[in-house]
Structure 1
Amino acid sequence: MDYLYWTTDIPGIPQHATCDYLNSNQDGDPATDVAWAQFSDPVYGSAVCAVRTASDSSVCDQRLVSLNVTNIQNVNHWQHQMMKTTCHELGHTVGLDHYYPQAPIPDFPPGGVLDCMASQSVDDYDEPTGSWTYTYNSHHIAHINAWW
């Protein structure tokens, strides 16, 4: 997914090796930042911390991102749900959080523009196939650029 490379200041670095699960501070070698898997939880996806940094245990060094393809394919606009879930979980790996515009007390998008960090199914929104399903809004991009 080159989207972070093209829209943020995060450098695109191709991965030409198998997943290295050792902590970067442990052996000094660059490690895999994100590993992707398929799972069967009742949600669309998750991005859990697999390894914390040795120097600061509050910082995640590597994440395991999992997608529930079966749940995703049960959505009417499942292709856009797949893009949204992938974008959403990748957003978690760079520090972005959820927001809930469809909640009983709406939590509106930071910056006022809907993006893939919105929670719930794409079918719950007025524009389930819009570009918001695979993009980050300017507010989130500014955070990514400041952090990375």
Structure 2
Amino acid sequence: MADEWGSQDGNTGAHPDEDPHSYCLGSSVSADLEENIDAAAWNALDPTQVNVNYSSTCQLTGAGETDVVWTQGNIASGALAWTDCDDYESDPPTNQCDQNYVRVDLATVNQGVDDEIDQTITTCHEFGHTAGLSHGSTQDDCMENVSTSNPPNALKWRRYSAHHIDDHINPWF
């Protein structure tokens, strides 16, 4: 059974608007986090039909705005990261997100035994939200919430399962 698509309800990502799925890095993103965002884009989205494009400049407005803007900084709630649709297409209502902002709190993420794996799992998870995937999966992939104090090392936790690729991401794009 397929998971529910994200609905922009605060817990899930909204439907993405188009292919390619472009991303950029805000000035707050450290070189360490940048490597893991790139790894997540390659590990998780590369085996899908999505064309994932890195843009060295964030275009924040207009028809060609960047789909995912990555930032880094403190999140007061103690969460590892969050994804928020900044431009939800409601007029006319397409139920699509034209631009997501993702914020990663490295101080919270880097509390375990293997920070690089923690960062890659976290960025894969947030990329999933930007592609419309939701929480609560039982697919043994990066969309499950896993402990960062002792992260699982298996590669499957840094990728999307066949279920998410075949039943969600590829049909959407």
TM-score class, shorter: 0.7 to 0.9
Query: What SS class does the counterpart of residue 2 from structure 1 fall into?
Result: helix
- Kept in 2: contact 1:122–1:129 (CA 8 A): no
Q: Which runs of 5+ in 2 are unaligned?
A: 1-40
Matches within 5 A, 1:41-56: 41=75, 42-53=78-89, 54-56=91-93
Query: Normalised by the size of structure 1, how large is the TM-score?
Result: 0.77
1:69-103 deviation digits (Å, cap 9, x = unpaired): 0011112222211110000000000011112xxxx
Considering fraction of residues, name the structure with more strand: 2
RMSD: 2.0
Q: How many pairs were matched up?
A: 129
**Does the C-alpha gap of structure 1 residues 129 and 3 become closer, same or farther in structure 2, counting only changes over 3 Å?**
closer
Shift of 1:57: 6.1
Q: Which runs of 5+ in 1 are unaligned?
A: 25-29, 100-107
In structure 2, how many angstroms separate the alpha carbons of the residues matched to 1:63 and 1:7?
Answer: 22
Query: What SS class does the counterpart of residue 59 from structure 1 fall into?
Result: strand
Identity %: 29
Larger Rg: 1
- Kept in 2: contact 1:72–1:81 (CA 8 A): yes
Counterpart for residue 138 of structure 1: 162
Higher RCO by CA contacts (8 Å cutoff, separation 6 or greater): 2
**Does the C-alpha gap of structure 1 residues 4 and 129 become closer, same or farther in structure 2, counting only changes over 3 Å?**
closer
- Counterpart of 1:32 (choices 58, 63, 66) is 66
Considering fraction of residues, name the structure with more helix: 1
2:155 paired with 1:118: no
